[in-house]
Structures are given as C-alpha cells and as structure tokens.
Amino acid sequence: MVDKKLVLVSGANGHLGTNLVRLLIQKGFAVRASVRNLKNRTALDGLDCEVVQADITDKESFRKALQGVDTFYAVGAAFKLWAKDPQQEIYEVNMQGTRNTIEAAAEEGVKKIVYVSSIAALDYTHVPTRESNGYNPDRRDAYYNSKNDGEKLAFRLAEELGIALVSVMPGAMIGGEAFLPLNVSYGVLALILNKQIPVDTNIALNWVDVKDIAEGCFLAAQNGRAGERYILANEKCMTITHTTKLAQKFYPELQLRIPAAVPKCMLFAIAALMQFSAKLKGKPPIITTKEIAMFSGLQQDFDISKARNELGFNPKDSESAVKDALAYLMTHKQLL
C-alpha cells in the first residue's frame, strides 16, 4: 500500500484510462479522473475516484484538474485512424493536447508525467524494433504522425519546463474492462466474432492485455527514468487471420471462416469500395487503402528487454491476451 498521493488520469473513460484508474485505486492512490464530457462517465461509475471535466484542447481546464497532483498519467488523446479531416481532428488535436497538458502540469507543480505515446512512434525498419531505433519515418498517417511528433514535443517541453517525463509506447490493447465504443484494437476482435473480415489482409497486430499496459504505466511512474521511452508490448505480433484461427478454436460453435487469401491488388480494390461506402455513410471503413499500403506484411515484433529490466514489465503472451479478450467479449455480448 502506498500513501495517498493524488494522481490524475486523463482520458479516464477510455479503454486504457478506465483500467488504469481501477489499478491505481487498488494500489491505494487518491485518483482524480478527467473526461472531456461529464455525460460520458459510465466507465467510471461506482469507482472511488474524483471525476472532473478537462479537455486537452483547453489548457485552463487542465490547470484546474492538475491542482495538487503529484503524478499525471497523460492518457487522453484522439485515438482513431480515420476522420473526415485527419489533420485537424487527429494531428492538431493531439499536438495541441500535448502542449497544453504538459505546460499546465509544469505550471501546477506536478512532479512527474507518464506520457502515453504508442508503438506507432517507432521505426520498424529493423526487427525486433527497439526504443533506440528512433522514430517512424512513414508519414502517411495523421495519427502516426501525431504520435511521432507529439512524443518529440513532450520530451522537449519537459526539458524546457523542468518536469520529469517518461514515455510509454503501448501495443494493440485488448482485454480488461471495456465499454462502447470499443477502441480500434478491441474492435478488430469484435469484427472477427461478427464475421466481418472477409479476406486475409496480411496485417499483424501486437496484441497486449490492457491490464498489463496499466501496470506498465504505473511501473513507469515508479521506476522509469526521466527522458526515456519504454515499449509496452509483446515480443511477437500476430496476424488477424491467425487471430481468427484462435477464435475458431476457442468458439467452434460460431462456425467462423478463415479469411480468404487474395492478391494485393484485390485488397486495394476491396478497401477502396469500403472507403467509398464509408464516405457515403459518414462512418469509418473497416479497412482503407492507406492501411493496406502501410500495414499489410508489416512485422510488429519488439525487443521489450528495456521495459522488462528497468520497469519490471512482464506482460502475458499474445495468445493468452487474445483468449482472455475474446472471453470478455463473449460474456459481454452488448459490446459486439
């Protein structure tokens, strides 16, 4: 048990945020949880925490939220791979949010920030990918760009303002407590169970249990070195098709079909049709041509020895994470 130091978790009603809030309460912290809209706080109902309104695009709201806070877990961000105006709705929001929250934390005397970045901010040129590889040179995606540039900005501001900041880079988070709308990663599992992935995209994801990520964030606050970045993922990635095979094995009664392999030119054609349909409906497509171009065949394998050795990070393996996450969805059918 720790003393009752006050911590703030932003984006507390999101997938990582709500699981992190639960963990910190269990560990004895006084937790303040910030959400962008107080009407969207279902994920926090019944939890022993203070819930406040704060928007990463509004610096003053974070100055109020950060008063008296010892450690700030900067989780809140625009986490989506599709938007009508990705530059404005994703990139600009995340960049402005990084600046606003770090400046507010420094002004309010916060001692440490755990900045939640993403494996999107890593250079995948050499596998297994390490923190020392540097930043992702692929500039085709607004979200990926916001994670790259946002982390760089976070470190620069922390140094200028004299505040200790540690960056953590999670993989594809699944499992744990979840609420609608599901995050992008959990949504893939829902698509599998709902038989909505018709073809093999050859896209791999680095599945990791969100509870392990929450633990990793806590460990980063306790043991992480200021100015350092830590990968919170598993060593090996898993294709969506292999994930479907696992779901087929665990739930034979669903009669899931393994996605058919098709030529890459056909993948682009299918994605283009999905994009066109999504544009008409105003909803995100299941897959885009950009995602086929960026991720089909990309290996997201990592060397996580730095997080293991320095933080004590020890995640369950990818297959166990998938098994537990599928079980959660099968017992919470309202999420499907």
- Per-residue confidence at 205, pLDDT binned at 50, 70, 90? very high
- Per-residue confidence at 1, pLDDT binned at 50, 70, 90? very low
For residue 82, count CB atoms less than 10 angstroms from its CB and return exposed for 0-12, middle for 13-18, buried for 19 or more. Answer: buried
> How many angstroms separate the CA atoms of 108 and 62, rounded?
9
- Per-residue confidence at 2, pLDDT binned at 50, 70, 90? very low
Q: Quote the pLDDT of residue 60.
A: 97
Mean pLDDT of the chain: 94
Q: Quote the pLDDT of residue 3.
A: 53
Answer yes or no: pTM beyond 0.85: yes
Cβ atoms < 10 Å from Cβ of 132: 11
CA distances to 67, 101, 152 from 96, rounded to whole Å, are 20, 9, 13
Q: 221, 195, 186: which is closest to 312 by C-alpha?
A: 221
- Per-residue confidence at 317, pLDDT binned at 50, 70, 90? very high
Q: What angle do CA 211, 215, 218 make, to 5 degrees?
A: 140
Q: Judge whether residue 265 has pLDDT over 50.
A: yes
Q: Quote the pLDDT of residue 187.
A: 92
Using a pLDDT cut of 90, give the percent of the chain over it: 84
> How many angstroms separate the CA atoms of 313 and 219, rounded?
7
Q: Quote the pLDDT of residue 206.
A: 97
Cβ atoms < 10 Å from Cβ of 266: 12
pLDDT in tens, 75-110: 999 887 777 888 999 999 999 999 999 999 999 999
pLDDT in tens, 157-201: 999 999 999 999 999 999 999 999 899 899 999 999 999 998 999
Q: Judge whether residue 123 has pLDDT over 90.
A: yes
| Type of residue at 114 | V
Helix (H, G, I), strand (E, B) or coil at 200: strand
CATH architecture of 6-174+208-234: 3-Layer(aba) Sandwich (3.40)
> How many angstroms separate the CA atoms of 247 and 258, rounded?
10
